[in-house]
Amino acid sequence: MELSGPSRSPTEKTAIKSQLSFNQDLSEVPEEISSEWRFSIPRRYIVAIMAFFGFCNVYALRVNLSVAIVAMTSNYSHIENGTVSFRQDYPWSPEVQGLVLSSFFYGYIVTQIPGGWLATRIGGKKLFGIGVGVTAVVTLLTPALASANLYLLVLGRVLEGLFEGVTYPSIHAVWSRWAPPLERSRLATIAFSGSYFGTVISLPLSGMLAQYVGWPYIFYLFGVLALIWCLLWWYIVAETPQGDRRITDAELEYIRSSIGPSANHIKVNVDPPWKRFLTSLPVWAIMIAHFSENWGFYTLLTELPTFMKDVLKFDLKDAGLLAALPYLVMGIVVQAGGFLADWLRSQGHLTTTQVRKLCNCGAFVCQTLFLLAAAHSTTPTAVVASLTVAVGFGGFAWAGFSVNHLDIAPQFASILMGLSNTVATLPGMVSPLLTGHLVQDKTPEEWQAVFYIAGGVYLAGAVFYGLFASGERQKWADIPDSYALCRDDQSHASTEDMPYGTGSCE
């Protein structure tokens, strides 16, 4: 094969390099002659930053209705023929509002596992973009759906849940190809932290839009922003490092040598070992930890403003602002936890298993303690401080369980994330109902019970994860590269991701 020539493109060169063994000297592959401008930031961090804004959009599209529905069902004055009257755009009862708000989760829980499986087939980048894009379109149509029929609005929210359900599993498919093992924590947590920043930004912004320009513009603004992000995601992010025309040779070779070729540029459609998933204690450790974290997260996300209003006697405006504070802290801590986890692993003093358990169990124990402190605090300042610290410590847990799928089975990480996020969606459906059952008279003692339960769930998650979690690749996930690349009788490996389709197993 002739490797020289000024007309050879950068993409062709990377295709040639993908054929070489990891130990082969690459000096024979000439540097491409190109004046193409490149980002100074490593491309894998560009992917992480884009994913961060993607999750900002995911949560903005998810929670905007929580604010909009208040304006949609509130009384407002109307003057007609000199007579002042009060009207509602939609005179929905609390039960109907609950149906509209909860309908999202009924779609969201359905596509977690199928989304993980589909990401291994069509690619995480494509599926993530499709999930956000369709949700954005339905969001833009939400005012029209509400105007037409209540059931169309519910159907629209279910549809949004279906397409947002693929986002978390699909991003793990992206990291299985883009994230070197010693950078998994920081890259994944940079992306995931977008969820919390999206929540903090979208809630007050939705309130201002509803007050000053009308509630329909909540859906119009966030829908348009999400579509703009989709166009940028499609243009900037490549499915694999090899397919990125702006990646440097050094970064490409670093990713390839650390991850391996089967995870980098080959679609390995090996049938998932479902029985192994369900009988693996490390998988169950991830699922229970994910459930535990989301129990506390959803409990406080949905009930904290009410608690501050009923028990701490804050007005609704102050309660909303203070309720957002813990999630701002958590968004910052999530990123700090990712960098800390990777730093601890890179020093060589702690194994991956030890780092995952330290981050996850340490966070859960601290959350338990500060929830108990909040339950017994006697001043509003102490309660707010305790709850802020309790929620914030959850950011360290995300450097544990949320990245653990990539440790134990990188080629099945998207499916495992789908499994754990399915289980972790249940608290969003159950926790508010249980809180509503417990808090009948809105007394401090009733709210203490809510905090006790959340603390108990955290503690149980810490114990189970501490006993059974692992940071090592499991034997049932240990598929040799030769199997992935060449064993046509049992796998469906494809070289279609390779720009020039070179290489054969014949």
- The predicted pLDDT at position 14 comes to 41
- The predicted pLDDT at position 84 comes to 56
44-61 mean pLDDT? 95
Query: What would the pLDDT profile of 284-326 be if each residue is shown by its tens digit?
Result: 999 999 999 999 888 876 666 667 766 777 665 565 566 677 8
Query: What would the pLDDT profile of 61-85 be if each residue is shown by its tens digit?
Result: 988 888 788 788 877 655 556 665 5
Band of residue 493 on the pLDDT scale cut at 50, 70, 90: very low
Structure-model confidence comparison of residues 49 and 39, the more confident one? 49
Is the distance from CB of 353 to CB of 379 less than 8 angstroms? Answer: no
As a whole number of angstroms, the distance between CA 177 and CA 240 comes to 6
As a whole number of angstroms, the distance between CA 60 and CA 457 comes to 27
What residues pair up with 79 in beta bridges, in sequence order? 84
**Which of 153-157, 221-225, 235-239, 482-486 shows the lowest mean pLDDT across its residues?**
482-486
Query: What would the pLDDT profile of 204-224 be if each residue is shown by its tens digit?
Result: 888 888 888 989 999 999 999
- The predicted pLDDT at position 291 comes to 96
Band of residue 22 on the pLDDT scale cut at 50, 70, 90: very low
**Separation of CA 392 from chain center:** 17
436-449 mean pLDDT? 81
Residue 460 has pLDDT above 70, yes or no: yes
Ordered DSSP codes for 33-97? -------SS-HHHHHHHHHHHHHHHHHHHHHHHHHHHHHHHS-EEEEETTEEEEE-S----HHHH
Residue 12 has pLDDT above 60, yes or no: no
10-33 mean pLDDT? 36
| Contacts for 218 with CB less than 8 Å, ≥ 6 apart | 64, 67, 68, 206, 209, 210
- The predicted pLDDT at position 81 comes to 62
Q: Which residue has the tokens 């229970």?
A: 288
- The predicted pLDDT at position 499 comes to 37
Q: Which residue has the tokens 């059974």?
A: 468
- The predicted pLDDT at position 218 comes to 92
Q: Which helix (H) or strand (E) holds 80?
A: strand 76-80
230-240 mean pLDDT? 95
As a whole number of angstroms, the distance between CA 410 and CA 231 comes to 28
Residue 170 has pLDDT above 90, yes or no: yes
| Contacts for 173 with CB less than 8 Å, ≥ 6 apart | 116, 119, 120, 123, 124, 127, 413, 414
Band of residue 495 on the pLDDT scale cut at 50, 70, 90: very low
Band of residue 349 on the pLDDT scale cut at 50, 70, 90: confident
- The predicted pLDDT at position 37 comes to 39
- The predicted pLDDT at position 225 comes to 97
Is the distance from CB of 188 to CB of 175 less than 8 angstroms? Answer: yes
Q: What percent of the chain stands above pLDDT 70? A: 78
**Which of 280-284, 372-376, 414-418 shows the lowest mean pLDDT across its residues?**
372-376
Q: Average pLDDT of the chain?
A: 81
Band of residue 340 on the pLDDT scale cut at 50, 70, 90: very high
- The predicted pLDDT at position 151 comes to 92
- The predicted pLDDT at position 478 comes to 74
Band of residue 113 on the pLDDT scale cut at 50, 70, 90: very high
Residue 269 has pLDDT above 80, yes or no: no
Confidence (pTM): 0.78
Residue 114 has pLDDT above 90, yes or no: yes
